[in-house]
Structure 1
């Protein structure tokens, strides 16, 4: 098969797009640089110009995933006069939409390698992706809609709720488009961490 011509920088994006498509269908075990090159239509050595090995490819997929997630969460959490509950509900809808559209990618992003001993670039990407949620928590505390306390601790509780809802949706246990389930979950969560309902230890 003749090698396709790509403008500078486009081959890496094409490889990542195909890798994510393969990940969605075949999982991590179905990914290989050789098969990726064949699917994209380039020489077998071409992917190694961008990814040293499969681990580097997976790292790049995770980094790109965090960047996309961060952009979506930032849009959902944009201060625009809504109250805290409405903004947090929008963040929940955004996260669940992302997680149900790309479950295999979110599973990869959630693996222990990317939560503990991750490369520095991935740590930065992960932290940046959830910065909009941290900012939302800080604004909620400043306005009195959330109790004072450690932002990371409250953020972790919020993320656990969002990720739990996304997992239920991916397992077919709830309808990801059921706004009532999401809204009720967020309001129940806020009952515990708003005002005096959230206790520091």
Structure 2
């Protein structure tokens, strides 16, 4: 992928322009080692301009992570259709959407769960992350109420589910799910194993 071109800024929403530039840099560079000075240069504004909206680079990174969680929540929500035959099917759809999002946005996904996205430092980031996690909690609660999932502590189901899905996402974007190790369809197979342990049996 080619380097993002400088995009001279003339008027309008400077904050949004800086964020868009940083997101583009993140996607191309696949890391967030850039400086506010470089973001300013590629946006076409003075070196001092970003400081009107972001006290330092860490504040900008936390905003990028917040946007990532908002987009992930939208992606997972769109993947779940009320017409799906079961809560299990909705769970699989949401999990696959999460993993797909990670594969399409690997650097952003890594940033979202990195120490540079310290959720204790930003209430809005924390809220976005918890709202996204709420999709999982909602599915687990629904599954327990309709008898699909085992009546154990939701926190235990959530921990197992999150560890599995997030782990699969990280392995996928790191290209570590090799067929010779885990077969040709590792994600569906792993989700089936997870759900077989979570679901009630007749």
TM-score range, shorter chain: 0.7 to 0.9
Secondary structure of residue in 2 paired with 1:188: helix
Q: TM-score, normalised by structure 2?
A: 0.83
Q: Evaluate the alpha carbon distance shift between residue 117 and residue 167 of structure 1 in structure 2; reply closer, same or farther with a 3 A threshold.
A: same
Find out whether 1:52 has 2:55 as its counterpart. Answer: yes
Q: Return the match for 1:62 from 59, 62, 65.
A: 65
Give me the CA root mean square deviation: 2.5
Structure 2 unaligned regions, length at least 5: 1-5
Q: Evaluate the alpha carbon distance shift between residue 137 and residue 118 of structure 1 in structure 2; reply closer, same or farther with a 3 A threshold.
A: farther
Q: Which residue in 1 is equivalent to 2:40?
A: 37
Q: Evaluate the alpha carbon distance shift between residue 12 and residue 2 of structure 1 in structure 2; reply closer, same or farther with a 3 A threshold.
A: closer
Q: Does structure 2 conserve the Cα–Cα contact (< 8 Å) formed by 1:73 and 1:130?
A: no
Structure 1 unaligned regions, length at least 5: 197-201
Q: Which residue in 2 is equivalent to 1:195?
A: 200
Q: Return the match for 1:102 from 88, 102, 105.
A: 105
Q: Which residue in 2 is equivalent to 1:27?
A: 31
Q: Which string of whole-angstrom CA distances, capped at 9 and with x for unpartnered residues, describes residues 145-178 of structure 1?
A: 1012332331221111111111221122338xx9
Q: Does structure 1 conserve the Cα–Cα contact (< 8 Å) formed by 2:61 and 2:117?
A: no
Q: Which residue in 1 is equivalent to 2:9?
A: 4
Secondary structure of residue in 2 paired with 1:195: coil
Q: Does structure 1 conserve the Cα–Cα contact (< 8 Å) formed by 2:119 and 2:125?
A: no
Q: Does structure 1 conserve the Cα–Cα contact (< 8 Å) formed by 2:65 and 2:112?
A: yes
**Alignment coverage as a number of residue pairs:** 191
Q: Which residue in 1 is equivalent to 2:3?
A: none
Secondary structure of residue in 2 paired with 1:5: coil
Find out whether 1:73 has 2:46 as its counterpart. Answer: no
Secondary structure of residue in 1 paired with 2:62: helix
Q: Return the match for 1:146 from 149, 161, 164.
A: 149
Q: Evaluate the alpha carbon distance shift between residue 26 and residue 71 of structure 1 in structure 2; reply closer, same or farther with a 3 A threshold.
A: closer
Q: Which residue in 1 is equivalent to 2:158?
A: 155
Secondary structure of residue in 2 paired with 1:174: coil
Find out whether 1:119 has 2:135 as its counterpart. Answer: no
CA shift for structure 1 position 90: 0.9
CA shift for structure 1 position 112: 4.1
Q: TM-score, normalised by structure 1?
A: 0.84
Find out whether 1:182 has 2:192 as its counterpart. Answer: no
